[in-house]
Amino acid sequence: MSSHTSAEDCLGWAATDSSGFLSPYKFSRRVLGDYDVSITITHCGICYADVIWTRNKHADSKYPLVPGHEIAGIVKNVGSSVHRFKVGDHVGVGTYVNSCRQCEYCEDGQEVSCTSGSIYTFNAIDVDGTITKGGYSNYIVVHERYCYRIPDNYPLASAAPLLCAGITVYAPMIRHKMNQPGKSLGVIGLGGLGHMAVKFGKAFGLNVTVFSTSISKKEHALRLLKADKFVISSDKEQMEALSKSLDFIIDTASGDHPFDPYMSTLKIGGVMVLVGFPSEVKFSPASLNLGLRTISGSITGGTKVTQEMIDFCAANGIYPNIEVIPIQYSNEAIERVIKNDVQYRFVIDIQGSLK
């Protein structure tokens, strides 16, 4: 099947310099290949990655830059060799859109760890030499391998944040067996990632403690998200009361913070997983060695576990807490993300506002 033929048939919003300011931008997507899926984007979540690359925080931004890697939409066309999807299917696209497909990780469905490096959904150089452009746009063309089926009864707006925020906490929780009912989980930070870790923890039957520096999040943590306990991490007495009580911790905080106080709350042999990116990680070797503890890192997840997570959410009625906005509000929304002023994920209504 042929795809779109006009030179600039995709409408998006892009940053054109390190100010990160987003404005309308027309560009062309690649022609539909035999194994490609063309997707009408209905919704796109706003992730902190959008802040990092629109504002050139890593000094590698390729402008004009169209951000967005929490993509949900509807299949509008498929290549001649595509068998997994058909026109009208609800699908998602996450943080990467390509990989080598030959290394041991790709063969095991862990494309996110591709030895050649997975190709990110935006601001990356694709195999054809073009720069990938993300979900702040009205459609995208992606190889079927990197698309996920979203059950028809699961809202597309809710599905979008699963593709980064959701899978970033779900994948390490599964890897480290944080799905054993009756065990105890600590969640550091209650943002887009942290609130999903709480939801998954409760769905897995865990006893969940939320760590935060902000007392204002207590009611939300306990009443809205149904956490079992809320602890102000700067309160030494509260922290000491938890000594050696937790089986697992998932640390979603990207701001710099001490590690020893949290590690002291882990039981002997406990596991702490870091999914945030503070500027450094410092802890006493005694925190690790004397407690026989493990500290582990993680990013998002491969295609296999991502599809499993989407299906798990649909089967168990797990939905991110979202604030749906028009794309015209995206600059203000990104400013609010920087200030941590969102409960808990902005989702752009692409189909309803990008005209």
Looking at residue 228, its pLDDT comes to 98
Looking at residue 7, its pLDDT comes to 56
Answer yes or no: are the C-beta atoms of 17 and 138 closer than 8 Å.
no
Looking at residue 4, its pLDDT comes to 43
* CB atoms near residue 128 (< 10 Å): 8
Per-residue pLDDT in tens (0 to 9) along the chain, 355 residues? 344 444 579 999 999 999 999 999 999 999 999 999 999 999 999 999 999 999 999 999 999 999 999 999 999 999 999 999 999 999 999 999 999 999 999 999 999 999 999 999 999 999 889 999 999 999 999 999 999 999 999 999 999 999 999 999 999 999 999 999 999 999 999 999 999 999 999 999 999 999 999 899 999 999 999 999 999 999 999 999 999 999 999 999 988 999 999 999 999 999 999 999 999 999 999 999 999 999 999 999 999 999 999 999 999 999 999 999 999 999 999 999 999 899 899 999 999 999 8
Looking at residue 8, its pLDDT comes to 72
Looking at residue 163, its pLDDT comes to 98
| Rounded Cα gap, residues 125 and 96, in angstroms | 11
Domains of the chain: 10-163+301-349 (3.90.180.10), 166-297 (3.40.50.720)
Looking at residue 108, its pLDDT comes to 96
Q: Are strands 229-232 and 207-212 parallel, antiparallel or unpaired?
A: parallel
